[in-house]
Chains A and B, each alone.
Chain A
């Protein structure tokens, strides 16, 4: 194959230079010329050493089985089928976000006569902080991992030959762009200004690097079905997992939810009916239905979806039990907005 390999010579003295991947500037080891690398510089790569043994990975997974609303007999009948380590690549960088966000916050005050007054508080917030970005550099498949939670560990390529290494299949520049927009968004959130009238944010990204992170994949069976866990190879904590649920917990959830929901809504109505003839009664009724409805909805999600417990960053998680909580948050925000406007 011609032209596949290209020798790297110092343009000044012709000596062979030693370039590490990801380097931008270096000095020729013979003539000391300062050289700037053009073209495909590659990316600086870091690998963390696998610190967790197979036994502790299994122990971590089995400990996870016992937690939460998973099948009660999982710890007895769950059987470890295979446990193997992998290296997963992550794009990683830090970006400094600096700038100003200006705007205002609105506060409602109501006096005893029921008159409301809106106060505007001007806000001017400086943003100056570092954002840590990470994103998996290959297709996440069914591992349930997308971002890194731990950035420290012993750096070593010693295990690299022994452990299967997932290849980077996404683009560095796409990751860089993503890092930029996420950093900006994060900076805006940090400022915490509800109504923005003016903002200027600058993102200064540092060099993108690849972190190869060691993960244990634990596959286990339960009633002939195959489930999985991933365990962080540096910290030993469970990163993600799928587990069978339990109908008893599903049933208890909806029994509690419908009872609490119904009683709260009913109590709201009663309070409304028995309160004096001022406007506050309506708040009780609306509030009761909102809280009661949320209780019902949240527990219903678990009732319907709780036959499989999913933890981690899975692509099919939108429809799973745990997101119920996020939905409730969103709905409660919407409802409280509606409730707030209620006379």
Chain B
């Protein structure tokens, strides 16, 4: 909760991140919070704990595009939590509100290039806010370097810290990393061990062609065709089950 003073009675007035209009609790004056001249620090709390972050990683790793059994075979080599900073500018451009997000820290981590403020419960970050020893990534780009290039008039500018889990894992002696958004649980990855579609395509294709051919055989020898179809049915079922299980 941040505070300012009432322009009428000078009492302390507290306000939240999204507050635009508020009432002084002493003199009941209606107050408009004008953020155009100040810079704010916001922070999104962690809602995903370490165990859940690993669980989210395993769910992601078990997805159909990832290498088979990546969730079981990946060896976790490190997990670390961080607060990552971005700038959020609200501008008034010809009477229209425009929101721009710009990087505040340089990084090579996956997912953090697609700049955004992740979904979360934004809090005002002040000295009393407990980060519980989580590392705050220092913003190494100045806010002022962006301000001069922004269009329109300022409405608000803020530095937003959002929570991430950085998960490192090893598969077949190669290191990979993913970032888990610790607010909404979204998983970001750069490169990861993938799964080929060849076996899937082969089963489907062979099955289709076989059944097509056997249907043509019915014109010559219906009994033989039905026997063949039965065999193919069992074969495709067995092969596809194996592929879905193991490939």
Pairwise interchain contact B32-A138, C-beta atoms closer than 8 A: no
Pairwise interchain contact A141-B215, C-beta atoms closer than 8 A: no
How far is A138 from B63 in the complex, measured between Cα atoms in Å? 26
B62 is contacted by which of A258, A305, A307 (Cβ under 8 Å)?
Answer: A307
How far is A274 from B119 in the complex, measured between Cα atoms in Å? 62
- Please report whether the interface of chain B is mostly helix, strand, loop or mixed according to DSSP: mixed
Give the interface of B toward A (CB within 8 A): 4-8, 13, 17-18, 20-21, 23, 28-35, 37-38, 42, 47, 52, 54-56, 58-59, 61-65, 71, 88, 90, 92, 96-99, 116-122, 155, 181, 183-187, 197, 200-201, 203-204, 207-216, 218-219, 229, 232-233, 236-237, 240-241, 243-245
- Please report whether the interface of chain A is mostly helix, strand, loop or mixed according to DSSP: mixed
Query: Known interface pairs A250-B244, A259-B207. Does A1 touch B4 (Cβ–Cβ under 8 Å)?
Result: yes
Query: Known interface pairs A258-B207, A308-B63. Does A138 touch B155 (Cβ–Cβ under 8 Å)?
Result: no
| Residues of chain A within 8 A of B200, CB atoms compared | 300, 303-304
Pairwise interchain contact B185-A225, C-beta atoms closer than 8 A: no
Pairwise interchain contact A247-B30, C-beta atoms closer than 8 A: no
Pairwise interchain contact A292-B59, C-beta atoms closer than 8 A: no
A166 is contacted by which of B23, B54, B121, B212 (Cβ under 8 Å)?
Answer: B121
Near B by CB (< 8 A), chain A positions 270-316 give 270, 273-274, 292, 296, 299-300, 303-308
In the complex, residue of chain A having the shortest beta-carbon distance to the beta carbon of B32: A6
Query: Known interface pairs A5-B5, A19-B21, A252-B237. Does A296 touch B229 (Cβ–Cβ under 8 Å)?
Result: no
Pairwise interchain contact B197-A304, C-beta atoms closer than 8 A: yes
Q: How would residues 2 to 41 of chain A score, 1 for a CB under 8 Å from any chain B CB and 0 otherwise?
A: 0111111000000011111100000000000000000010
Pairwise interchain contact A3-B34, C-beta atoms closer than 8 A: yes
Pairwise interchain contact B17-A261, C-beta atoms closer than 8 A: no
What are the 6 tightest A-B residue pairs by CB atom distance, in nearest-first order? A262-B211, A266-B215, A141-B184, A226-B55, A258-B207, A247-B244
- State how many angstroms separate the Cβ of A140 from the closest Cβ of chain B: 6
22 contacting pairs across A/B (C-beta < 8 A): A3-B37, A5-B5, A5-B13, A7-B7, A7-B8, A82-B52, A86-B121, A138-B117, A138-B120, A140-B184, A142-B185, A164-B121, A171-B96, A173-B96, A244-B62, A247-B241, A250-B240, A254-B207, A267-B215, A269-B212, A304-B64, A308-B62
In the complex, residue of chain B having the shortest beta-carbon distance to the beta carbon of A136: B119
B212 is contacted by which of A3, A20, A250, A292 (Cβ under 8 Å)?
Answer: A292
| Residues of chain B within 8 A of A138, CB atoms compared | 117, 119-120
In the complex, residue of chain B having the shortest beta-carbon distance to the beta carbon of A84: B47
B216 is contacted by which of A5, A223, A269 (Cβ under 8 Å)?
Answer: A269
Pairwise interchain contact B244-A171, C-beta atoms closer than 8 A: no
How far is A221 from B59 in the complex, measured between Cα atoms in Å? 9
Pairwise interchain contact B20-A225, C-beta atoms closer than 8 A: no
Pairwise interchain contact A226-B20, C-beta atoms closer than 8 A: no
| Residues of chain B within 8 A of A257, CB atoms compared | 204
A251 is contacted by which of B59, B209, B237 (Cβ under 8 Å)?
Answer: B237
Query: Known interface pairs A141-B186, A143-B184, A259-B207. Does A4 touch B33 (Cβ–Cβ under 8 Å)?
Result: yes
Pairwise interchain contact A225-B30, C-beta atoms closer than 8 A: no
